[in-house]
Chains A and B, each alone.
Chain A
Amino acid sequence: MNPLAAAIVQLWPYALAFVVAAAIPRRQGRWERFAIGLSAVLGVAFLRGMWPGAEAPSEPPIEWPHLLNVIVFVPILGAIAVLFLPRQAPRLLKRFSIAVLLVDFVASLWLLGAPMAEGWHFQYIADWLPSFGIRYHVAIDGVSLWLVLLTTLSSPLALYVSFGSIQKRTKELCFSFLLLHGAMLGAFVALDLFLFYLFWELMLVPMILIIGVWGGVEKIKAAYKFFLYTMAGSMLMLAAILYLVWSFKQVEGYYTFDYLALRRLVLPDTAAWLCFAGFAVAFLIKVPMWPFHTWLPDAHVQAPTGGSVILAAVLLKLGTYGYVRFCMGLFEGPAWQAGATLAWVALLGGVIYGALCAWRQADIKRLVAYSSVAHLGFVMLGLFSATRSGIEGALLQMVNHGVSTGALFILVGVIYDRRHTRLASEYGGLAKVMPIYAALFVVFTMASIGVPGTNGFVGEYMIIMSTIVSQALGRWATSQAAVASAGVILAAVYMLSVVQKVFFGPLDNPKNKSLTDVNTREAISLAPLVVLVFIIGFFPKLLLDRMHDSVTSVVARYVDGRLAYQDHRGRADTVLEPLLGGPTEAGYPERPAAPAEPSEAPSVAAIMHIDAANGAGVEGTP
């Protein structure tokens, strides 16, 4: 048939989606229609592209090894380029930064091309410091894939939103966001523990700049708290990393910082627990899990809107990702044994206590911040339950939380920009004046609570189911599932009560009567998130399929590692688990070749001129 007809047959879903979506807004904005239409089109494209059931390709698709390097370093190089752009040209700076982040987003979509079978994909290894055994080793698997995509989606939205409220020092804002974006992506894909630590620390500096320069009243205190809390945790992690590297050297004789090598280590009891504690503290501070959560409300409330969005959407996920990749990957035994206790901490301290704190908040942003603590308590519960559906549910919930809480922060920023107050008591009956805003807020509230049909439901359901059947949680499993379900109800309580206070009820305050509804910028940044809420809510399999193989191998290794730890208990030596081979070991660091010729450096004894045998010392004057 002729090409035009063929094109129409192929493209009709996209055209239909665009037309329907663009017809939704009942007001003038041309760009707004276009953006909503584009989000719908991309959503449909995502659905069609990821729909399972296509015939498996005969050979695995070619994975361009430099893709991850491009994704990580394009923003960092963009940040350096921004330094050279004139600060008197804010439009140029803004467009350049958004362009760089959008290029990064498009590049990251290529990651969806690989079906993420078991093992590492898009792997790139380069020697960096051979004497230390440090390599530049990046790779992606089902666990980190969706987090990388979440990051590349959230950053342009967050930066775009922040341009609405931040007008001064645009150059520093763009620099900070680009550097932060690159560092976060690097942390998600790094498989060398030193490289991971480097990106982990590198994230802190732009984040404190964002909080401290454009933040609220107590921004400096919040910035200090954030930086010092996180850095203290990372220092303990560094101590644990150094101990692991040294232990590996004792057993195998060469230095390596590579995750694939160090995860074979089975340490004696005390050492294993202390190293687990070092890593766990660093990640639990970041999550944040009670009692290390006190930096979060301050940081979120004082940060500007864009900063809060990126903090909630991505930075908190680094803690949970770090836990599943490093704590559960390196220290399976202590993680298993601590699982039940930590799950109680996550439930009572995170889910229940976080929800109760959120319920009492008068400041809406602080409420959403505490709700993050509660949601991530759920995620950690999923990780602690250590079943396949639990970990998949946790990973899915990480993406969900990024989408829904990121959107909630954008929405809080909307009314803060209008009235410069975030107290719920100042508002009331806003649904009458800002109906679109109210609708969006309610949609994301439902997503946050976990109403079926939205993304939150799937994640929470999987996590609670996994808690019931979990072996790691032992005899506490059922009671913990019951408490978690109560947590869901509490989430509904605090979110709906604030929605009622702010949107419904009488429109008493005269200052609220003339508020403008969501403007173009805010609508454009929320549109993709709305689309995602429903796509993930109705078609979670699209995301879960890609995680499946990797999570299966994570769980299998976790069980093996726990058995190895139990076999090893009571012994004081350090052994290595056997190399399994296979795709999960791709990129294993081999022992470096022995130097061919003896080094030119003289031995210590020769330098000291002390040679007892021939007595030819260099004597001074007696």
Chain B
Amino acid sequence: MNLLFALSPLLAVAGGALLLMLAEALGKPAVAEGINADGLVTDAGAGRAPELAVGSSVVLFCGAIFSLGVWLYGPEKLAGLDAVAPYFIVDRFSLFFSFVVCIGGALATLLGGGYLPEHGIDRTEFFSLVLWATVGAIALSAAGDLLSLFVGLETMSLGVYCMIALRRGSLKASEAALKYFLLGSFAAAVQLFGAGLLYGATGHTDLAGIGKAIRTVGEAGSTVSAPMVLVAMVMSIVGLAFKVGAVPFHMWTPDAYEGAPTPTTTYMAVALKSAAFAILMRVLVLSFGDDRLLSWGTGWPPIVATLAILSMTLGNVVAGRQDSVKRMLAYSSIAHAGYALVGVAAILGSDQAAPSVSFYLLTYTVSTAGAFGALILCGSQGREAVSYEDLAGVGRRHPTAALAFSVFLLSLAGVPPAAGFFGKLYVFTAATEAGLYWLTVLGLLNSAIAAYYYLRVMVYMYMREPVPGAPVAVPMKSSMVNVALIIAAVAVALLGIFPTKALQLAATALP
């Protein structure tokens, strides 16, 4: 019974996914893509997106509520967790991240419920895929063993590969999906190779056991080979840094984000990234938490710090050069991964570091989901809002949509009193505490550079008019997108003005 309660987030989402697939299969048959009687090409559409979106978002919100419920009950009080540990660890860390992933997924499905019918890709598989990918993401956040890590990683990724290619006729989408699939599989293979090396070196597959074994390196009678451990560490970091989207393993991100339908992009940006960071932190703290590996001279912090600096800098600089808002948001999510990696690097000296990364990902999730949602809102049938010119003059014609977009952009830029500012503050406080002063200064300067391209969107919305005669994107009317934006905006406002409770909760979530 206790076990059922402990696993309730995962089971809720999985059970909901099964029920949704049944509902989808037994309900009205979907209209297939094809050519209709008038000779026009029809996209897939059966009008089932609204009900399925509502259903799947309810399932995901239930998952989030269950995570919160188990948290409030106290995962330490649950007995019987040994049955699933170490493959599935139920502690505050995994509950926090399953909450974040479920919220991100719920917002993505609501956005999908508005976007898919509007742009003619009303395929019901999207919602099942989101749910199953979320199951994988929850499993990944709770993974405590290399095997369940791989299973969770692949479950999550395979769902997303299909979601990217949802628009079957689109070359761009297919290219994006294929790129992500090939590079993702390659990275997973590298990660698996590292996992194999770790097993060979330490004889354990569970992360805690690996950590224990690595601590015995250098002692008399230890069979753990240090060079093998180091190679395995680098390979694991590489594989997971790919998933996180850190430079120089970021090449898939702009193309995948741009080619995918925007709700899929939202899901990738929030849920995938959060789960990947969760497992990255767990692997680094549990397996490679030995003092020698956690030190600046001989361990992984310099690697992570370098990834952080490269991601922040490249992400911010290249984002400013983009003409497409979607691609700009992709590069900005690379930069945000860089800021979060600063927090990960700070684990070496601060016990606030891991909670700061978790809180940062929470604020990042609501802000990014809101930003992509506002971008979805600004486009409608026939013309999606993709480039800056599409957004010109929106501030005057549709002030509510522009205001919503501005709020999320300011949160991403780190302007107080929005939530994103507190995320950055927490991460940089932890980095200062860990002694990484130059990393903090670089991070703050990068935030200033980032302000340019976030500001650019606002400039186009409020201060420019569209070229006369040019086709202009008209915002869509969709109650589901509105609901998603309202939820995200309320979350951004609350986390920005009253972040105390969330900070306290995050502080107890330690990997």
Contacts and interface: CB of A to CB of B under 8 A. Distances in A.
Contacts of A213: 462-463
B246 to A, nearest CB: 22
B475 interface: no
Interface stretch (B24-32, B130-138, B436-444): B436-444
Interface stretch (B184-192, B205-213, B258-266, B376-384): B205-213
Nearest to B460: A220
Given A607-B91, A618-B86, A202 B455 contact: no
Contact of B507 (A131, A172, A205): A131
A602 B511 CA distance: 11
Contacts of B437: 239, 243
B452 A620 contact: no
Nearest to A230: B448
Contacts of A83: 403
Contact of B204 (A197, A224, A620): A620
A212 B203 contact: no
B500 A619 contact: no
B417 A202 contact: yes
Interface in A216-274: 219-220, 223-224, 227-228, 231-232, 234-236, 238-239, 242-243, 245-246, 249
A132 interface: yes
Contact of B451 (A231, A238, A239): A231
Given A169-B396, A610-B212, A220 B459 contact: yes
B12 interface: no
Contacts of B82: 618
A220 B212 CA distance: 58
Contacts of B440: 239, 242
A600 interface: yes
B447 interface: yes
Contact of B445 (A209, A235, A242, A243): A235
A88 interface: no
Q: Which of A83, A128, A228, A239 has the most CB of B within 10 A?
A: A239
A426 interface: no
B423 interface: no
Given A198-B416, A202-B415, A619 B206 contact: yes
B428 interface: yes
B447 A235 contact: yes
Contacts of B500: 128-131
A601 interface: yes
A172 B451 CA distance: 21
Interface residues of B, number: 57
A54 interface: no
B420 to A, nearest CB: 12
Contact of B455 (A201, A208, A243, A617): A208
A621 interface: yes
Given A131-B503, A132-B503, A198-B416, A228 B452 contact: yes
Nearest to B446: A235
A232 B452 CA distance: 11
A622 B223 CA distance: 14
Given A202-B415, A202-B416, A246-B432, A601 B92 contact: yes
Contacts of A205: 410, 415
B429 A246 contact: yes
Interface in B497-511: 499-500, 503-504, 507-508, 510-511
B202 to A, nearest CB: 10
Nearest to B433: A246
Nearest to A620: B206
Contacts of A58: none
B429 A242 contact: yes
Interface in B55-95: 74, 76, 82, 85-86, 91-93
A228 B463 contact: no
A236 B444 contact: yes
A184 to B, nearest CB: 15
Contacts of B428: 238-239, 242
B462 A619 contact: no
B98 to A, nearest CB: 16
A608 interface: yes
Contact of A619 (B93, B204, B417): B204
Interface in A171-217: 172, 197-198, 201-202, 204-205, 208-209, 212-213
B289 interface: yes
A238 B444 contact: yes
A227 B447 CA distance: 13
A340 to B, nearest CB: 28
A608 B286 contact: yes
Contact of A239 (B211, B444, B508): B444
Contacts of A608: 208, 211, 285-286, 289
Contact of A232 (B351, B448, B511): B448
Contacts of B43: none
A228 B453 CA distance: 10
A599 interface: yes
Contacts of A87: 399
B145 interface: yes
B417 A227 contact: no
A220 B429 contact: no
B85 A618 contact: yes
Nearest to A212: B463
A591 interface: no
Contacts of A128: 500
Given A132-B503, A601-B508, A212 B145 contact: no
A204 B448 CA distance: 13
A210 to B, nearest CB: 11
A609 interface: yes
Interface string A111-149: 000000000000000001111100000000000000000
Nearest to A208: B455
A4 interface: no
A579 interface: no
6 contacts: A132-B425, A220-B464, A608-B285, A617-B209, A618-B208, A620-B206
Interface of A: 83, 87, 128-132, 169, 172, 197-198, 201-202, 204-205, 208-209, 212-213, 219-220, 223-224, 227-228, 231-232, 234-236, 238-239, 242-243, 245-246, 249, 599-602, 604, 606-610, 617-622
Interface of B: 74, 76, 82, 85-86, 91-93, 145, 203-206, 208-209, 211-212, 285-286, 289, 351, 395-396, 399, 403, 410, 415-417, 421, 425, 428-429, 432-433, 437, 440-441, 444-445, 447-448, 451-452, 455, 459, 462-464, 499-500, 503-504, 507-508, 510-511
Top 9 closest pairs, chain A to chain B, by CB: A620-B206, A601-B508, A235-B444, A198-B416, A212-B463, A232-B448, A235-B448, A242-B432, A246-B432
Given A132-B503, A243-B437, 5 more contacts: A201-B416, A212-B459, A249-B433, A620-B204, A622-B204
